[in-house]
């Protein structure tokens, strides 16, 4: 079977998305590959198609149970024999899967990296070596990556013990240049074909809204959700406590919301996830424990109530919006308190547990702090947001995208030389006394605060005390962060960051050079985003689409799977637009494969016929 035949037979498409064909071709030619593609670009198909074309079976190394289960469910619906092994299964279930695997009944077998070290799995691989090993979320192998998993490091050793080394395909959605180099080196990829596609998702609008803190954020959140009119979305929070608070607030305000975090019972998490996937609730409030492997296609917005710890995580989480190609929004609510929270979480995290020695753990934490600094720069920049993160991932970008809050805010260049001189002078006066403090204290000094801590430190005697008393605190904090971002001041980082002078500070306080920056407006564009493109709206019969959606929900409930696994919204719109009347024409719809045609074709064709008959009777009666 060729790759194109497998694509049509199992997944219902006649053409690959950009770059999929290149990667698949290289894998089938026997070459190792490294694919870096954004969320929603179709990475999983790049190893699922070769798995169907190659003899034997394919091992997929995946870090999360939910991700594995979701992909296996989708493959089974497409008629592909697949399974996953994970810690939540009992021994009887695992023995059953091993028995099927030994008989060669699976084309793909998913497993967490820790599972590969068990005697049972090693014996399976030794007796029946996989033809292909696909490493999903491959950035987890790098200490520079945001989700470092030491168990990934032991994968190459397992491959070396096999009678024949399989071809290896590594994939990730978020990897800087140094992480890509780590993946290639640590996985021992042999002359890999490397493809780094554009990280840009043109259908996504990116926005940042500066806030004064939790109370301000809650008001903004409620106002924002009122404008979403029941659209499906995710709200990410940094702590479990915040998740619970926001979910309770939304319930009290009449929103159909659920919650998801690691502190909940597994059964409750599963119920909440299913309620969201099956559209019984429209909003999920969650920590970053939610979302990996959730291929829900109709997510119209992702709102971050708190700033994440790094751009990699933010881009991956925000990228869960608009996976069907429809316009969607990604909004970040930022306050300086978010930075302190992130610093605390980094300093007190032991994500790698006892698997790392003290030096290695220190290194991981230091890299996390550097990533946090870049995330803070993104949250406070006045430049194009899309350009900022594209350049972070090593991609060139135009100066403006015209689809982010900074590009659409009508901001202009402004001279802040006087304000900069006052702020930098305050840091200078503190340094003369041998003192360094954080942004918050600097703003208090400049605003003339009478806080007990400030007065006890004697900071009210500084010549810069109160010289910016009329400037709002949030504006001052923003200006300080802007001066750090522009290089006029240095943020020390760490759990208790302080602001220091650097050589460029002299341009402000000694050379009196002008400081001209582009100031960002506080109000983000919260315009309505359509559920689908204008072209789709004009071609799709909305009444038929609604009828087909109800049928899909019924079939999904009967099969025990989320609706999008039956057919995605994009495929459903195509069915409504084409209104096929025969099996052959139904098979021509993108996203309709042979197995789904057998399972659901007659139901959908009957639904279309009934709908058209009802319309004809209605039209006849009206005439």
Contact assessment for residue 145 and residue 112, using Cβ atoms and an 8 Å cutoff:
no
* Separation CA 38–CA 318 (nearest Å): 11
Could you tell me the two tokens for 355?
């698997």
Q: Is the pLDDT of residue 621 over 70?
A: no
Residues 327-350 pLDDT 10s = 899 999 999 889 888 888 888 765
* Mean pLDDT across 387-413: 85
3-class SS at 403?
coil
Q: Is the pLDDT of residue 356 over 50?
A: yes
Strands 108-111, 283-286: pairing kind: unpaired
Q: Enter the CATH code of domain 3-196.
A: 3.40.50.300
3-class SS at 546?
helix
* Mean pLDDT across 453-463: 92
Could you tell me the two tokens for 478?
């923003």
pLDDT band at 494 (very low <50, low <70, confident <90, very high): low
Residues 43-55 pLDDT 10s = 899 999 999 999 9
Residue 463 sits at φ, ψ, to 5 deg, of -65, -20
Q: What share of the chain is helix, strand, coil (3-state, %, to 5)?
A: 50, 10, 40
User: What letter does residue 264 receive in the DSSP assignment?
Assistant: S
DSSP, residue by residue, 95-158: HHHHHHHHTT--SEEEE-GGGGGSHHHHHHHHHS--SEEEETTGGGG-TTSTT--GGGGGHHHH
pLDDT attached to residue 536: 35
* Mean pLDDT across 602-621: 81
The correct answer on CATH 3.10.20.440 for the domain covering 204-392 is: no
- Strands of 305-450 (E only): list them: 328-334, 413-415
pLDDT attached to residue 145: 66
Residues 223-266 pLDDT 10s = 999 888 778 999 999 999 999 999 999 999 999 999 999 899 88
pLDDT band at 531 (very low <50, low <70, confident <90, very high): very low
Domains 3-196 and 535-622 share a fold: no
The domain segmentation of the chain, as residue ranges, is 3-196, 204-392, 413-518, 535-622
Q: Find the helix packing angle between 358-380 and 311-318, rounded to 10°.
A: 60
Distance in Å from the first CA to the final CA of the chain: 54
Q: Supply the Cα-derived Rg of the chain in whole angstroms.
A: 27
CA torsion angle for 342, 345, 348, 353 (degrees, to 10)? Answer: -120
User: What separation in angstroms does the CA of 90 have from each of 86, 246, 560?
Assistant: 9, 35, 21
Strands 33-36, 193-196: pairing kind: parallel
Candidate from 95-99, 486-490, 541-545, 586-590 with smallest mean pLDDT: 541-545
User: What letter does residue 55 receive in the DSSP assignment?
Assistant: S
Strand partners, 36: 172, 196
Please choose, from the candidates 443, 441, 440, 447, the residue with its C-alpha nearest in 3D space to the C-alpha of residue 468: 447
How open is the CA angle 272-277-283, to the nearest 5 degrees? 65
pLDDT band at 429 (very low <50, low <70, confident <90, very high): very high
Give the other-Cβ count within 10 Å of 121's Cβ: 20
User: What letter does residue 351 receive in the DSSP assignment?
Assistant: T
pLDDT attached to residue 38: 80
pLDDT attached to residue 524: 27
Contact assessment for residue 350 and residue 323, using Cβ atoms and an 8 Å cutoff:
no
Residues 287-318 pLDDT 10s = 987 876 566 778 999 999 999 999 988 998 99
Candidate from 147-156, 415-424, 521-530 with smallest mean pLDDT: 521-530
The region, left, alpha or beta by phi > 0 then psi within -120 to 50, assigned to residue 512 is left
Q: Enter the CATH code of domain 413-518.
A: 1.10.10.10
* Mean pLDDT across 593-620: 86
Q: Is the pLDDT of residue 481 over 80?
A: yes
DSSP, residue by residue, 270-339: HHHHHHHHTTSSSEEEE-TTS-TT---TTEEEEEESS--S-HHHHHHHHTTS-TTSS-EEEEEEE-HHHH
Residues 65-119 pLDDT 10s = 877 888 898 899 999 999 999 888 899 999 999 999 999 999 999 998 888 888 9
Residue 291 sits at φ, ψ, to 5 deg, of 120, -30
Contact assessment for residue 245 and residue 370, using Cβ atoms and an 8 Å cutoff:
no
* Separation CA 557–CA 567 (nearest Å): 13
Q: Find the helix packing angle between 91-102 and 119-127, rounded to 10°.
A: 10
Contact assessment for residue 172 and residue 139, using Cβ atoms and an 8 Å cutoff:
yes
User: What separation in angstroms does the CA of 570 have from each of 20, 279, 451, 495?
Assistant: 19, 16, 57, 46
* Separation CA 12–CA 489 (nearest Å): 56
Q: Is the pLDDT of residue 380 over 60?
A: yes
Of the CA atoms within 13 Å of residue 466, those in its CB half-sphere come to 7
Q: Is the pLDDT of residue 395 over 90?
A: no
Residue with tokens 């919260």: 526
pLDDT band at 528 (very low <50, low <70, confident <90, very high): very low
Strand partners, 414: 517
Architecture of the domain spanning 535-622:
Orthogonal Bundle (1.10)
pLDDT band at 360 (very low <50, low <70, confident <90, very high): confident
pLDDT attached to residue 527: 33
Q: Which long-range contacts (CB under 8 A, 24 or more apart) does 433-439 make?
A: 436/492, 436/498, 436/499, 436/500, 437/498, 437/499, 438/496, 438/497, 438/498, 438/499, 439/336, 439/477, 439/480, 439/481, 439/491, 439/497, 439/499
The overall average pLDDT reported for the chain is 86
């Amino acid at each position: 079977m060729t790759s194109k035949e497998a694509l049509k037979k199992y997944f219902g498409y006649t053409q690959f998305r950009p770059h999929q064909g290149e990667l698949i071709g290289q894998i089938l030619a026997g070459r190792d590959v490294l694919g870096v593609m954004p969320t929603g670009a179709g990475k999983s198909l790049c190893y699922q198609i070769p798995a169907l074309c190659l003899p034997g079976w394919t091992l997929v190394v995946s870090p999360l149970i939910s991700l594995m289960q979701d992909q296996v469910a989708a493959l089974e619906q497409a008629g592909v024999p697949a399974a996953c092994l994970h810690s939540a299964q009992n021994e009887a279930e695992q023995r059953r899967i091993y028995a099927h695997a030994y008989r060669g009944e699976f084309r793909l077998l998913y497993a967490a990296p820790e599972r590969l070290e068990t005697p049972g799995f090693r014996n399976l691989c030794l007796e029946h070596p996989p033809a292909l090993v696909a490493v999903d979320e491959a950035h987890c192998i790098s200490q520079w990556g945001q989700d470092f998993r030491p168990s990934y490091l032991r994968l190459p050793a397992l491959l070396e013990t096999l009678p024949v080394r399989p071809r290896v395909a590594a994939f990730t959605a978020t990897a800087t240049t140094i992480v890509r180099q780590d993946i290639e080196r640590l996985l021992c990829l042999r002359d890999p074909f490397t493809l780094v596609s554009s990280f840009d998702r043109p259908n996504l609008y990116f926005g940042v809204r500066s806030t004064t803190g939790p109370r301000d954020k809650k008001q903004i959140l409620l106002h924002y959700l009122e404008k979403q009119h029941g659209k499906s979305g995710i709200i990410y929070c940094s702590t479990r406590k915040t998740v619970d608070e926001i979910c309770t607030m939304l319930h009290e305000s009449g929103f159909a919301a659920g919650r998801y975090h690691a502190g909940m019972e597994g059964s409750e998490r599963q119920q909440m996830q299913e309620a969201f996937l099956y559209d019984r609730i429209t909003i999920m409030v969650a920590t970053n424990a939610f979302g990996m492997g959730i291929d829900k296609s109709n997510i119209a917005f992702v709102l971050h109530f708190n700033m994440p710890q790094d751009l990699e995580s933010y881009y991956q989480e925000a990228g869960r919006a608009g996976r069907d190609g429809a316009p969607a929004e990604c909004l970040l609510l930022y306050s300086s308190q978010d930075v302190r929270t992130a610093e605390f979480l980094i300093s007190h995290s032991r994500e790698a547990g006892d698997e790392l020695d003290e030096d290695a753990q220190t290194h991981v934490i230091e890299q996390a702090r550097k990533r946090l600094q870049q995330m803070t720069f993104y949250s406070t920049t006045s430049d194009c947001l899309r350009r900022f993160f594209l350049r972070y991932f090593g991609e060139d970008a135009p100066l403006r995208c015209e689809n982010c809050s900074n590009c659409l805010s009508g901001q202009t260049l402004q001279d802040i030389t006087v304000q900069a001189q006052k702020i930098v002078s305050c840091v200078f006066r503190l340094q003369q006394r041998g003192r360094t403090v954080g942004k918050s204290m600097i703003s208090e000094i400049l605003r003339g605060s009478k806080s007990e801590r400030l007065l006890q430190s004697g900071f009210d005697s500084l010549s810069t005390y109160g010289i910016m008393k009329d400037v709002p605190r949030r504006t001052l904090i923003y200006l300080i962060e802007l001066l750090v971002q522009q290089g006029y001041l240095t943020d020390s980082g760490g759990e208790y960051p302080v602001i220091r002078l650097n050589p460029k500070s002299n341009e402000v306080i000694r050379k009196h050079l002008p400081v001209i920056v582009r100031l960002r407006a506080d109000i983000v564009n919260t315009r309505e985003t359509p559920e689908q493109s204008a072209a789709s709206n004009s071609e799709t019969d909305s009444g038929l689409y609604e009828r087909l959606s109800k049928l899909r929900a019924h079939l999904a409930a009967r099969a025990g799977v989320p609706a999008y696994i039956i057919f995605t919204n994009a495929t459903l719109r195509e069915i409504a637009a084409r209104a096929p009347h025969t099996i052959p024409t139904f098979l021509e719809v993108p996203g309709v494969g042979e197995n789904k045609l057998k399972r659901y074709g007659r139901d959908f064709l009957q639904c279309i016929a009934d709908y058209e008959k009802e319309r004809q009777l209605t039209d006849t009666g009206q005439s």
